Chains A and B, each alone.
Chain A
């Protein structure tokens, strides 16, 4: 570019004479300057972390300030019924039998029936009360109830 200066020899000589002059030594404390420069450099390196911390603090404060109320969610929850314990089942069965003369549970008919069944078998079970379905109505023939083809065959032969 213009760095190849088209100067006259006299001007080049003047240029060289001026360039030979050394600028005066500045009255500056070099160590103090390096100290200041080091601090500035360190401060600059810390700046991103400071900004990040400030941003996080601001976000946290904002989220705390405008935190919404907790939502109430209504749900139907099915809880399984508690299974009755065996003791309570036993008590329930015992209560269903009429009590004996003494009126105590130990002398109830239930216990007597149980003892009889244990001693004599199922025949010791009390007969069902009169007037039930089994006494008044005949037991229907199984084949008739089922209306199976075999029965129709026998009917075909007049049986």
Chain B
């Protein structure tokens, strides 16, 4: 694997930056997610060799950077509660969306982090369960279980939301 040139870095930025920021917003809000992602890209550029799996490397690096930035557990939890979904839109709203972006964001925010992380990594980062398991440090079966539970929770919440809106 050769060194990382500007073209490859630019390609990876275009492909993954938005999902990386979405992933980082679980821990950091208020512009901190963007800063974390930028720092990770700078670190990637400084690497001697390109990682074998750049996408998995980037998401793992963002996770580690976010957790390192928020060292104190209390600070992290408080920041998560504060930043999770408040003030920033996680998704672009489009007319032809099958799902309301704000409702989806609210459903994701309501998930416990153990379920939210696999959902984001699986759906928007398009990682395999094995790659997700390596990133979060859990067995693949556990990750799949958490992902499944997350989907069920989102569906229940969305159904409740629909019933509330259309009684």
B40 CB → nearest A CB, Å: 10
Choice from A2, A15, A18, A34 contacting B129 with Cβ under 8 Å: A2
Is residue B48 within 8 Å, beta carbon to beta carbon, of the partner chain? Answer: yes
Q: Do B41 and A11 touch (CB < 8 A)?
A: no
* B144 and A5 contacting across the interface, CB-CB below 8 Å: yes
Cross-chain contact of B123 among A18, A25, A26, A38 (Cβ < 8 A): A18
Known contacts A33-B42, A40-B46, A44-B48, A21 near B151 by CB under 8 Å: no
| CB-CB nearest 4 A-B residue pairs | A37-B45, A23-B18, A17-B98, A40-B46
A95 within 8 A of B: no
**A1 at interface, CB cutoff 8 A:** yes
Count of chain A residues near B, Cβ 8 A? 32
The reply to whether B46 and A41 contact each other, CB–CB distance below 8 Å, is yes
Q: Decide: A37 and B41 in contact? CB cutoff 8 A.
A: yes
Which residue of B has the minimal Cβ distance to A41? B45
Q: Which of A1-40 contact B (CB under 8 A)?
A: 1-3, 5, 7, 10-11, 14-28, 30, 33-34, 36-38, 40
Residues of B1-51 at the interface with A, using a CB-CB cut-off of 8 Å, are 3-4, 6, 9-10, 13, 17-22, 31, 33-34, 37-38, 41-48
A23 & B91 in contact (Cβ 8 Å cutoff) = yes
B contact residues vs A (CB 8 Å cutoff): 3-4, 6, 9-10, 13, 17-22, 31, 33-34, 37-38, 41-48, 88-92, 94, 97-99, 101, 104, 119, 123-124, 128-130, 140-141, 143-144, 147-148, 151-152, 154-155, 158
Given pairs A20-B99, A40-B45, 17 additional interface contacts (CB within 8 A): A3-B128, A3-B129, A14-B154, A14-B155, A18-B99, A18-B119, A22-B91, A23-B19, A23-B90, A27-B31, A27-B34, A28-B34, A28-B38, A36-B45, A37-B9, A40-B42, A40-B46
Cβ-neighbour of B38 out of A2, A21, A36, A44 (below 8 A)? A36
Q: Quick check: B92 and A23 within 8 Å, CB to CB?
A: yes
CB closest residue in chain B, given A26: B21
Chain B residues near A25 (CB, 8 Å)? 18, 92
Tell me, in angstroms, the Cα distance from A41 to B43 when the chains sit together.
9
A24 neighbours in B (Cβ, 8 Å): 18, 21-22, 88-92
Q: Which residue of B lies closest to A33 (CB)?
A: B38
A contact residues around B46 at 8 Å (CB): 37, 40-41, 43-44
Contact residue among A10, A21, A33 (Cβ-Cβ distance under 8 Å from B41): A33
CB distance from A50 to the nearest CB of B (A): 14
Known: A14-B154, A21-B101, A24-B90. A1 touches B42 (CB 8 A): no
Is A11 within 8 A of B155, CB to CB? yes
**Who on chain B is nearest to A20 by CB?**
B98
Give chain B residues whose Cβ lies under 8 Å from the Cβ of A18. 99, 104, 119, 123, 154
